[in-house]
Amino acid sequence: MDAKCGPEPIVPSTTQVMAGAKPATAEDSSNAKPMVHPPNTLAEYALNQFGNKDFFDISLVDGFNVPMEFSPTSNACTRGIRCAQDIKTQCPNELKAPGGFHNPCTVYKTDKYCCNSGRCGPTNLSKFLEDRCRDAYSYPKDDPTSTFTCPGGTN
């Protein structure tokens, strides 16, 4: 799989690639993490997991700032995913942010949008995101329609 949003990272077993993340510098502590401020389109993947599968998704749960896609490069993995159009200009006013737009949880901080109770479903705002990026996570419990797999070790 090629995540078409920059150079290929060194990959631990579970990874989130945050478009727009500012890497930590040598002056930061040894436990430093990237300085990340929403909104960020996330490319997430976990390699060689349950059933010897690679899992991958594009998440808008932390907002949207750049289009991206995963494209298969071998016949063993046939499903690519994408949120490839730049949808920033289509954003509802209440979600607008510099450089992109926020997910509803970031703006409203309620269980309806953040899923803190563990039980939630799509909302009108997550459906807005889903309509524009069908393959992407649009709310926290969107796993059944937004997590994809390929055989482990394929591209």
Domains defined for the chain, CATH in brackets: 2-151 (2.60.110.10)
> What does the alpha-carbon distance between residue 104 and residue 123 come to, in Å, rounded to a whole number?
9
4 pLDDT tier (thresholds 50, 70, 90)? very low
- Say yes or no to pLDDT of 8 above 90: no
Short-list 55, 23, 61, 24, CA closest to 40? 61
Give the predicted TM-score (pTM) of the model: 0.74
60 pLDDT tier (thresholds 50, 70, 90)? very high
Helix spans in 18-110 (H): 104-108
Give the mean pLDDT of the chain: 79
- Say yes or no to pLDDT of 31 above 70: no
Buried b (16+ CB within 10 A) or exposed e, 31-66: eeeeeeebbbbbbbbbbeeeeebbbbbbbbbbbbbb
Tens of pLDDT, residues 36-55: 678 999 999 999 999 999 99
Strand partners, 150: 54
